[in-house]
Amino acid sequence: MNLTLTLGAMALVGAIGMLWWGVTARPSAARANLFAGLPQPEAPASKWASTLNGLGQATRRVLPNQLVDGLEVNLVQAGHPHGLDLPRLIGIKVALAGMSAFLLILAGKPVVALVAGGLLFFLPDYWVMSMRDKRQAAMQAEVADTIDQLTICVEAGLGFDSALARVATTTDGPLTEELRHTISDIQAGVPRAQALRMLADRAQIIEIRQLVTGLIQAQKHGVPLAQTLRTQSADMRLRRKQTLEEKAAKLTVKMLFPIIVCFVPVFMIIVAGPAFLSLGNL
């Protein structure tokens, strides 16, 4: 029993350490300078990170295409957190599952090893999806202000591409990173409409998709961009106001359970407690 607990604790600590190390490993300074300014994730340069990368590339060939494609889409929408690319992430998944399963098999728990290996294999997927949701929420909060800046730049006489580059160099955040990616695509020769569609596909939020649709339609029909941006900005602010009002309306319902579970019992003890004590003394 003690051996089982010891090996289980070692598996848990090792899995957490492996996940943290695989996520936070950084490439060399020379490689970072070489790829500076490019939107692609940087490949790991350390020996162990390269091992994870090779393990992920080997495992990728045997995994179902639906699983790999879905993970890659989530990773792109999450913005490649900590510079993770798909092979390295798959390597982390395999290392987590294999190490925990091996230790539990040594402890004589093959069924538990199978379950634990499966759970730890999909643990990085959950982490990537949580990072994706946080990033999308941050982009939704930045959309209205970014459109206002674009509107000011366009009305000041800048072209749309120049205005986009100006906003991308004066702000910071996940939406700014996507704008820089879009600028890189346009500078590489990608048509503006296609680059904007790629922006909407990477962001996967309604506000960006609506903005891209409006800009493409304005470019197609010759509508002034400043007017389109001003209309989009007003709509985004109205949408954000409605979202906040919706969250405020749900707050009452969400507070009901903590009040009933935490406040009401204490209140009843304070109010009825002395009465029950008095009855006990009679």
Give 2's pLDDT tier (boundaries 50, 70, 90). Answer: low
Q: Amino acid identity, residue 50?
A: S
Provide the domain count of the chain.
2
Residues 215 and 126 in one domain: no
Residues 147 and 96 in one domain: no
Q: For 97-111, 132-146, 161-175, 197-211, which range has the lowest pLDDT when averaged over its residues?
A: 97-111
Q: For 32-36, 145-149, 179-183, which range has the lowest pLDDT when averaged over its residues?
A: 32-36
Give 135's pLDDT tier (boundaries 50, 70, 90). Answer: very high
pLDDT value at 8 more than 50? yes
Tell me the two tokens of residue 7.
């090996």
What pLDDT is recorded for position 34?
39
Residues 199 and 223 in one domain: yes
Q: Tell me which of 9 and 228 has the higher pLDDT.
A: 228
In 3D space, the residue among 225, 174, 221, 217 whose CA is nearest the CA of residue 199 turns out to be 174
Which whole number is the average pLDDT over 182-207?
90
Long-range residue pairs from 38-46, CB within 8 A, at least 24 positions apart, any chain:
38/184, 39/177, 39/180, 39/181, 39/184, 41/80, 41/83, 41/84, 41/85, 42/83, 43/85, 43/88, 44/83, 44/88
Model pLDDT for residues 65-77, shown as the tens digit of each residue: 888 888 888 888 8
Residues 196 and 169 in one domain: yes
Handedness of CA 113, 114, 115, 116 (dihedral sign): positive
268, part of any domain: no
Model pLDDT for residues 13-67, shown as the tens digit of each residue: 565 555 555 545 444 444 444 344 444 444 445 566 677 777 777 777 777 888 8
265, part of any domain: no
Instruction: Render the burial of 63-83: b for 16+ CB within 10 Å, e for the rest.
Output: eeeeeeeebeebbebbbbbeb
What pLDDT is recorded for position 37?
43
Domain range for residue 152?
137-240
272, part of any domain: no
109, part of any domain: yes
Cα 159 to Cα 153: distance, rounded to the nearest angstrom: 8
57, part of any domain: yes
Cα 101 to Cα 103: distance, rounded to the nearest angstrom: 6
Which whole number is the average pLDDT over 133-157?
88
**Mean of the per-residue pLDDT values for the chain?**
78
What pLDDT is recorded for position 250?
85
Instruction: Among 135, 162, 178, give the residue marking a domain's end.
Output: 135
261, part of any domain: no
What pLDDT is recorded for position 4?
56
Residues 82 and 21 in one domain: yes
What pLDDT is recorded for position 15?
55
Which whole number is the average pLDDT over 270-278?
78
253, part of any domain: no
pLDDT value at 93 more than 60? yes
Instruction: Among 240, 257, 277, give the residue marking a domain's end.
Output: 240
254, part of any domain: no
Residues 6+ apart with CB under 8 A from 280: none
Handedness of CA 255, 261, 262, 266 (dihedral sign): positive
Model pLDDT for residues 235-260, shown as the tens digit of each residue: 888 888 888 888 888 888 888 888 88
Cα 78 to Cα 51: distance, rounded to the nearest angstrom: 24
Instruction: Among 76, 104, 135, give the residue marking a domain's end.
Output: 135
Residues 147 and 235 in one domain: yes
What pLDDT is recorded for position 35?
40
